[in-house]
Structure 1
Amino acid sequence: MKQALLKLLKQVEPDKEKSPFLHTAYDAFFTFAFTPNMVTKGGVHVRDGMDLKRQMVHVVLALQVLYLFGTYNIGHQHFVALGEYTGFLQGAHLKLVYGLVKMIPIFIVTHVVGLGIEFYYAYKKGHGVEEGFLVSGALIPLIMPPDIPLWILGVSVAFAVWIGKEAFGGTGMNILNVALLARVFVFFAYPTYISGDEVWIAGIEKAAEGGYFGQAYGAVYGVFDSLFGSLGLATFGDGGKAVIDGYSGATPLGLASKGGWDAVTQSYTTGQMLWGTIPGSIGESSKPLIIVGALFLIITKIADWRIMLSMVIGAVVMGLLLNAWGATPFMEVPWYYHFYMGSFLFAMAFMATDPVTASSTSTGKLIYGFLIGFVGMIVRVLNPAYPEGWMLAILFMNVFAPLIDHYVLQANINRRAKRLQAAMKPAETAAAPAAAEAQA
């Protein structure tokens, strides 16, 4: 079966000279579907099936549980805002459909824009499509608000791929994390769409204009209403629902930045924050699922545990220092509760460990991760305009990662030079009397 499929694909392969763009698209699919037909050089000739594409696929696989949960949570948070189906599993079919209707366009726009640029550059350069956007394209939807306008998303993806990667030479040459660059572009270019309370809950700004439906997706929900009604299940209804009185949509992190931990616990329990049934970016909320993904990456050796561990230590050290200072309610939040809020674990597992933009030496990874945790906590707590810190801290340390590696390597060279000099001294001392006797 596999050989037949391989033969069929070879028969429909476009001519590289006559149709270079079609051949580029064909090559991207072919190399994604099949392992490399190569052997290592030497006497063993072991075929190596783990190329960069397959490494990237491992990261994408680790993100799938976050996609599933994040999609469902979009719908859950929407219905909670309307005061309906407030139990997590109540109205599950409605929540999943609502989340899919929001999530699928975000995913499609991200990949159409990003892969379109990748295909264009591969076609112009005459080489295969690079693998890096497999991960960037999977990460970008998860770090965006569920109600982000699609045109802003497209502009941010184009900026990140063009300026953040292709301008530096493509995959493996970029100095900044591409996914984070897309988010930071939205934050600085369109701050009202990624800050505040309402941006984290899909549809509440349009609740008065048509409830569940709004203007764009009424027909889609109508189709599902017909299906659910025929099965005797609850339906979306006629729309026109309003957000319940007193509902703010604030994230735990936003509440903590204004009123400390007491303000957070008035709206959310630690269980809700742990399991992720709270507002926030699509993929950052469920801490156990993120930890499962992190362990998967460590076990498969796709991500380095040194960066994760040292990042946790850096955040703990700075958190303890801020707790000791205690000048504001946010500083008084116990350090361990910072792991319940915001995107620390997601940034630790999937952003800081990017092998292209992180430090590459073992010691450098420890330093790099520690500084991200340390600096990120400073930005989160001491910057009133941005009660989060990991995005800026990671991008900041991306810039310094080569410098960290340089000093680590230089220190290793100096230590080896000193050991060599120390080893040569006894030999020189022993040779000195023999040389003197020979001269005599």
Structure 2
Amino acid sequence: MNPPEKKPRKILQKQVIMRRVIIGLIPCILASIYFFGWRSAAVIAVSVTAAFLTEFLFLLKRRQPVSEAVFVSAIIYALILPPTVPWHVVVIGIVFAILFGKMVFGGFGRNIFNPAMVGRAFCYVSFPVAMTASWSPAASFPWGALGQWSTAISPDVITSASPMGLMKQGLIEAPRLLDLLVGNLAGSMGVTSVIAILIGGIYLLVSRTANWKIVAMTVGTYALANLVADLAGMPNAPGALVAVMGGGFLFGAFFMATDPVSAPKTLGAQLIYGAIIASSTFVIRNFSVFNGGLMFSILLANMFAPILDYAFKQAKKKKNENLARAEETVR
């Protein structure tokens, strides 16, 4: 008797929702190439390749397919890196993200944290100079950096704190709203253009890929906190518009806070989750030594998401039980 033939391994697990997210990321990808050169495209390609191979090799023995979500994590991770990030940081960060942000929890659908954020946080603490010390200026109109490999003008590029850090210290004025809208300023390579983020973000909302309640609560709470700080005369307060439009906050609200796996599923939990991201980002950006804050805030909120879901589900279950008892009493 011949042993049963093994079915050929399916390489890729198709996921429609993840394809929509990739489509939503296209404007940000194009903006990163336009403002920072074709090196941005190469960084994305390296990140995607390393992420795919990592998950493929991890699942090889199990003969399980690679989820299309790995492409989303790799692209988002690449877009939130500095334009001049060294190649070894790109690879090490995304490998760490896939292994310890996703696969150790059991793979797609079981991870607690957003993998892209895990990878960036690891690089932030492991390679602080590469992640925070050098910022490449964005190219100007009309042709941008389409004819360039990179906008870096020297090996050291611009050695300083990040633009958000300089503004926080009062060393530079808040950028013009037009520059924030278009993206013509230094920053992580895929998050400087508000127009590109809004095009992709609105597509996610219209296609019901992203949860609008999480986006609204995150952006609304953060805008309100900064408005109050500005009216109260807090030193170097950027104001609501600049705070929301700068530092990649909108990118995080649309593409990372709404991750369908690591975000909560119940309405009450989603609202609290958005408030946690907004409030902790406000505190970290304004009162800590860190210039960003969104990265840590999303990871913190991810940690609370399962607890919040459980609490609201239990509350609903208890309410239904009480209603059932009340109906039996009336009968």
User: What band does the TM-score fall into relative to the shorter chain?
Assistant: 0.7 to 0.9
Q: Secondary structure at the match of 2:284?
A: helix
With 279-288 and 310-319 compared, the bigger mean Cα shift is at 310-319
Q: What is the alpha-carbon distance in structure 2 between the residues aligned to residue 16 and residue 397 of structure 1?
A: 46
TM-score normalised according to structure 2 size: 0.88
For the pair 1:393 / 2:294, whether they are aligned, the reply is: no
For the pair 1:189 / 2:189, whether they are aligned, the reply is: no
Give the aligned length. 315
1:339 Cα offset (Å): 1.5
Q: What is the alpha-carbon distance in structure 2 between the residues aligned to residue 199 and residue 132 of structure 1?
A: 29
TM-score normalised according to structure 1 size: 0.67
Deviations 1:93-131 (A, max 9, x none): xxxxxx11x123312321222111111122111222223
Indicate conservation of the 8 Å contact 2:19/2:68, yes or no.
no
Q: What is the alpha-carbon distance in structure 1 between the residues aligned to residue 259 and residue 318 of structure 2?
A: 29
For the pair 1:164 / 2:101, whether they are aligned, the reply is: yes
Higher gyration radius (CA): 1
Pairing partner for 1:406 from 305, 310, 313: 310
Equivalent position amino acid for 1:165 in 2: K
Pairing partner for 2:113 from 176, 179, 193: 176
Structure-2 residue corresponding to 1:334? 239
1:295 Cα offset (Å): 1.1
Structure-2 residue corresponding to 1:282? 189
Pairing partner for 2:263 from 333, 355, 358: 358
RMSD: 2.5
Identity of aligned residues (%): 28
Structure-1 residue corresponding to 2:324? 420
Higher-helix-fraction structure: 1
Indicate conservation of the 8 Å contact 2:167/2:173, yes or no.
yes
1:233-252, aligned counterparts within 5 Å?
Answer: 251-252=162-163
Structure-1 residue corresponding to 2:282? 377
Q: What is the alpha-carbon distance in structure 1 between the residues aligned to residue 5 and residue 22 of structure 2?
A: 30
1:258 Cα offset (Å): 0.7
Pairing partner for 2:205 from 295, 298, 317: 298
Q: What is the alpha-carbon distance in structure 1 between the residues aligned to residue 187 and residue 137 of structure 2?
A: 8
Indicate conservation of the 8 Å contact 1:122/1:129, yes or no.
yes
Structure-2 residue corresponding to 1:56? 18
Q: What is the alpha-carbon distance in structure 2 between the residues aligned to residue 374 and residue 342 of structure 1?
A: 15
1:153 Cα offset (Å): 1.2
Indicate conservation of the 8 Å contact 1:317/1:374, yes or no.
no
Pairing partner for 1:257 from 159, 168, 171: 168
1:360 Cα offset (Å): 1.0
Equivalent position amino acid for 1:396 in 2: L
1:28 Cα offset (Å): 2.6
Indicate conservation of the 8 Å contact 1:165/1:171, yes or no.
yes
Structure-1 residue corresponding to 2:29? 67
Structure 1's unaligned 5+ residue stretches are 1-14, 33-52, 75-98, 203-234, 428-440
Q: What is the alpha-carbon distance in structure 1 between the residues aligned to residue 222 and residue 74 of structure 2?
A: 28
1:251 Cα offset (Å): 5.0
Q: Secondary structure at the match of 2:122?
A: helix
Q: What is the alpha-carbon distance in structure 2 between the residues aligned to residue 368 and residue 189 of structure 1?
A: 28
Equivalent position amino acid for 1:350 in 2: F
Structure-2 residue corresponding to 1:80? none
1:164 Cα offset (Å): 1.2
Structure-2 residue corresponding to 1:77? none
Q: What is the alpha-carbon distance in structure 2 between the residues aligned to residue 105 and residue 115 of structure 1?
A: 15
Q: What is the alpha-carbon distance in structure 1 between the residues aligned to residue 204 and residue 49 of structure 2?
A: 27
Deviations 1:75-100 (A, max 9, x none): xxxxxxxxxxxxxxxxxxxxxxxx11
Q: What is the alpha-carbon distance in structure 1 between the residues aligned to residue 268 and residue 88 of structure 2?
A: 42
1:115-130, aligned counterparts within 5 Å?
Answer: 115-130=52-67
> Which structure carries more relative contact order (alpha carbon 8 Å, separation 6+)?
2
Q: What is the alpha-carbon distance in structure 2 between the residues aligned to residue 255 and residue 16 of structure 1?
A: 63
Q: What is the alpha-carbon distance in structure 1 between the residues aligned to residue 212 and residue 190 of structure 2?
A: 21
Indicate conservation of the 8 Å contact 1:58/1:297, yes or no.
yes
Equivalent position amino acid for 1:105 in 2: A
Deviations 1:152-194 (A, max 9, x none): 1111111111111111111111111001111111110011111
Q: What is the alpha-carbon distance in structure 2 between the residues aligned to residue 273 and residue 108 of structure 1?
A: 26
Residues 284/410 of structure 1: CA separation in 2 closer, same or farther (3 Å cut): same
1:379 Cα offset (Å): 0.9
1:395 Cα offset (Å): 0.4
Structure-1 residue corresponding to 2:144? none
Equivalent position amino acid for 2:135 in 1: V
Structure-2 residue corresponding to 1:111? 48
Equivalent position amino acid for 2:189 in 1: I
Q: Secondary structure at the match of 1:360?
A: coil
Indicate conservation of the 8 Å contact 1:308/1:348, yes or no.
yes
Structure-2 residue corresponding to 1:311? 218
